[in-house]
Structure 1
Amino acid sequence: MPRPDLIKGRFAAFWNKDIVWSFRSSPVTVAAAVLALIIFVACFGAAWVAPHNPMDVATVELMDAGLPPVWQSGGDPRFLLGTDVQGRDILSSILYGGRISLTVGVLSVLFAAVLGITLGLVSGYFGGTIDTIIMRIAEVQLSFPAILIALLVDGVARGLLPAEQHEAVAVPVLVLSIGLSFWVQYARTVRGSTLVEKQRDYVSAARIIGLSPALILIRHILPNVIGPVLVIATLNLALAVITEATLSFLGVGVPPTQPSLGTLIRIGNEYLFSGEWWITVWPGLALILMVLSVNLLSDWLRDALNPKLR
């Protein structure tokens, strides 16, 4: 069992690391991290945190439809932020909808990162025709907005699938469409770093001892190019959540039976001018806080991993 003084020494070494010091010396970053942690825990733990289950039709009462927030006249203490036109609790809907939005965002970023890193490593290491083909495809895709690429992929996927399967595959299609919109950033960044790293002595030594290109890329080059990728992934998480909300707002995202934040905003927007402002304002505010906290963390991570700013 480790001695207490040894544990204390290890904790002190960790506490005084550059990146930890940079984090704890920035109140804005700490506040953003706390806010992001609360949002992630509340959304992914919605089944335990939410006061109601808006997905369970048996618990929804139409007599509770259109109730304002609790501090307004006519509010009900059971529904802190009010209810929508179907009687669903707004707070619970935001938590469950945020879980869907974050799930799509995280899976989209993972898919885009794996695809982009793989193509970037292959392109930078092998060069030649492979590099030319991959980079030309990337440049063509950069000519179009990400939301347009996502709409195109989503439309093609829905056109190829039977109508009765659209709701069942809505989330995988969203992940595919958003992921294919963001892989270019990873590929270009990793390619540039790989072009530098493959000239290093340690890569030449790995070639001399007979390691395969796959082992060289995974074991030696990848760990040295992963830093900028983490910054891009953090930033793209916010962009992926916004893209998912945009697609759902346009009606091509997740189905109304599994509403995300974008779907909640779209539904509430139809009743905004009838005085039921809370139906769209609270999901919109939740989306803003979610994206803002992640963006602030990505800005800090970019500065903390940049050796020129140390």
Structure 2
Amino acid sequence: MTDAVVPRSTEAAPRAGRGTSWLRRALDSDIFYSFRRSRMTMIAAAITLLFFLLAILAPILAVQNPFDPAQLQLMNSRISPLWTADGQAPFLLGTDEQGRDVLSAILYGLRISLAVGVLGMLLAGTIGITLGLVAGYVGGAVDGLIMRIADVQLTFPAILIALLVNGVAKSMFGNKLDPTSMLVVLVLAIGLSFWVQYARTVRSSVLVEKNKDYVAAAQLIGLPAQKIMLRHVLPNAMGPVLVIATINLALAVLTEATLSFLGAGMPETMPSLGTLIRIGNNYLFAGEWWIVAFPGIALAGLILSINLLGDWLRDALNPKLR
């Protein structure tokens, strides 16, 4: 009887160990150790996570839907924050000129800013990683063509590329762009503006990796080039890509805010943080400082926390600093 029980218990232990081995390796890794040692990084990660949670839970936390005109009343316009003498409940951070609760507008504006930033970063990464893989692995004329295009784009600031894409879209469709279509245009503009960093970084890593023995062995057994690039070469080039992606997320959010502030981004009926800052800037010298101050603080805090995470990730993944 006991002989029948022992084999089952000895088999269960390795299975449980295999199920938690990845978590144990992650907790014992140098990256997690570096993360725990940096209090500033932990605070930045907590703030970044808080911003994402606020954006996701905006319909639950907001006292009104600022995108729904039926919920707005002009009688509630320009109410000062709740802790001031003229403040009114439930408008904790006051209201703007359309009667929108500033806190609710920030929560919903975060959703748009983060959506544009994340989707723009993913699009730029997809384009850049693909072109960088092809350029580095194929080489020759293909490599020269892709890199010359990248060099030409680097001569122009990213905001100008984004304005160009935005202007072309508006010239083609005029005023027919609804807020959802405008969001797609912003994602496309940001994606086409930031792919170069990914392409150049991935190309450099591929040029190093493709001369190693494991690539020669994969070629020898007849694996297709696409499979070698995606399954063998790309994973070894993902460290620098993750750093670029983190930093580019902040740049994408800032670019969207800049475009919206210049009037080339999201409309006032569906404002992002940049649009809220542009609206509030018109009333800054009239004394309604809260309309621009709180969206500006939210944008600055979001970008600063993401940048701090990017700086830590760059140092953590740098083997020279371990």
Q: What is the TM-score when the length of structure 1 is the normalising length? A: 0.96
| TM-aligned CA deviation for residue 52 of structure 1 | 1.9
Structure 2 letter corresponding to 1:206: A
**Cα distance in 1 between the residues matched to 2:193 and 2:244:** 13
| Cα RMSD for the two superposed structures | 1.7
What do the CA deviations read for 1:256-303 (whole angstroms, capped 9, x no partner)?
A: 111000000000000000000000000000000000010000111111
Q: Write out aligned runs for 1:10-159 (5 A).
A: 13-159=25-171
**Which segments of 5 or more consecutive residues in structure 2 lack a partner in the other structure?**
1-11
TM-score (norm 2): 0.93
Aligned residues of 1:238 and 1:294 also touching (Cα < 8 A): yes
* Divergent runs of 4+, >6 A: 7-10
Q: Give the AA of the match of 2:68.
A: D
1:178 corresponds to 2:190: yes
- Per the TM alignment, residue 62 of structure 1 is displaced from its structure 2 partner at its CA by 1.1
Q: Distance in 2 between matches of 1:8 and 1:171?
A: 41
Q: C-alpha separation between the residues in 2 aligned to 1:207 and 1:15?
A: 36
Q: Distance in 2 between matches of 1:292 and 1:10?
A: 31
Shift of 1:2: 6.3
Report the 3-state secondary structure (helix = DSSP H, G, I; strand = E; otherwise coil) of the residue aligned with 1:169. helix
Gaps of 5+ in 1: none
Q: Partners of 1:65 and 1:297 in 2: how far apart?
A: 38
Q: Give the secondary-structure state (helix, strand or coil) at the position aligned to 2:194.
A: helix
Identity among equivalent pairs (%): 60
- Kindly tell me: are residues 161 and 2 of structure 1, through their superposed partners in 2, closer, same or farther at Cα, counting changes over 3 Å? farther
Give the superposition deviation at 1:8. Answer: 8.3
Structure 2: distance between partners of 1:61 and 1:46: 20
Match among 229, 253, 256 for residue 244 of structure 1: 256
Counterpart amino acid of residue 39 in structure 1: F
Other-structure match for 1:188: 200
Confirm or deny that 1:297 pairs with 2:292. no
Cα distance change on mapping 1:159 and 1:9 into 2, 3 Å: closer
Tell me how far apart the structure 2 counterparts of residues 267 and 300 of structure 1 sit (CA, whole Å): 34
Q: Does 1:210 align with 2:222?
A: yes
Letter in 2 for 1:111: L
Please state how far the C-alpha of 1:51 moved relative to its aligned partner: 2.2
Q: Distance in 2 between matches of 1:64 and 1:2?
A: 64
Distance 2:84 2:282 in 1: 21
TM-superposed deviation, 1:13:
4.6
Deviation at 1:14, TM superposition (A): 3.5
**Max radius of gyration: which structure?**
2
How many residues in Structure 1 have an aligned counterpart in Structure 2? Answer: 310
Distance 1:2 1:76 in 2: 61
State how far apart, in whole Å, the 2-side matches of 1:11 and 1:216 are.
28
